[in-house]
């Protein structure tokens, strides 16, 4: 851990606001006396979840849905914003049911990624899935795409799988599952 002192914040001003993000100007003084003014995005929401739903030990379920910012259909993991009063795992359970029609008996937060300053995406591994559908806010039915975790390279080479959180979460989950399999194998050998 770095013990270097953080810059002193002398002033903060909101410059612009939108539905999800606002722009804030921050005046800082660094430990060496240098002063700088930065503009940064600051989230309005509570963060988000992205779920890696494992249908079985080797197959992940992806969702093909319209990506408005890209104006095409994108294959990715189910994800969504946390709602007030909702835990990370409750949000993961809800988003899975809304987007891919599955719940999970086993949910585990693996790590978090910063999407923007003050806006975290929590990566959740979901196992022991069962069918259960909740009404979501998507304008059309989302296609569920099973994909072998062993073939992530082919997935990320596709033109319709470009979303960074999806790619990072898949590789993090793949590495976690591989390390877990090694631990289980070593324990069984005793």
SS3 178: helix
Q: What does 110-149 look like in DSSP terms, one character per residue?
A: EEEEEEETTEEEEEEEEEEEEE-----S-SSPPEEEEEEG
Residue 158 has phi, psi (to 5 degrees) of: -75, 150
> Taking a C-beta distance cutoff of 8 angstroms, is the pair 72, 43 a contact?
no
Question: Where is pLDDT greater, at 63 or 24?
Answer: 63
**Mean of the pLDDT values across residues 73-101?**
95
Q: pLDDT tier at 138 (50, 70, 90 boundaries)?
A: confident
Q: pLDDT tier at 161 (50, 70, 90 boundaries)?
A: very high
Residue 107 has pLDDT above 90, yes or no: yes
Task: Please give the pLDDT value at position 69.
Answer: 82
Angle at 110 between CA 109 and CA 113, to 5 degrees: 100
Exposure letters 26-42 (e unless 16+ CB within 10 A, then b): bebeeeeeeeeeeeebb
Mean pLDDT value across the chain: 90
As a whole number of angstroms, the distance between CA 176 and CA 140 comes to 33
């Amino acid at each position: 851990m770095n013990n270097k002192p953080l810059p002193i914040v002398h002033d903060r001003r909101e410059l612009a606001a939108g539905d999800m993000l606002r722009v804030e100007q921050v005046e800082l003084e660094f430990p060496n006396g240098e002063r700088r003014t930065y503009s940064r995005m600051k989230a309005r929401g509570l963060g988000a979840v992205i779920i890696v739903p494992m249908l079985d030990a080797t197959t992940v379920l992806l969702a093909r849905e319209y990506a408005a910012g890209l104006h095409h259909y994108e294959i990715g993991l189910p994800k969504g914003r946390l709602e007030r009063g909702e835990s990370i795992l409750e949000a993961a359970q809800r988003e899975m049911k809304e987007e891919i029609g599955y719940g999970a008996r086993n949910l585990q937060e693996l790590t978090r990624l910063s999407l923007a300053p003050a806006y975290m995406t929590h990566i959740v591994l979901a196992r022991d899935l069962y069918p259960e559908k909740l009404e979501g806010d998507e304008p059309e039915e989302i296609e569920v795409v099973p994909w072998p975790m062993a073939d992530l390279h082919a997935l990320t080479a596709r033109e319709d799988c470009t979303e960074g959180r999806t790619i990072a979460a898949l590789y993090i989950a793949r590495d976690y599952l591989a390390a877990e399999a090694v631990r289980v194998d070593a324990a069984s050998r005793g």
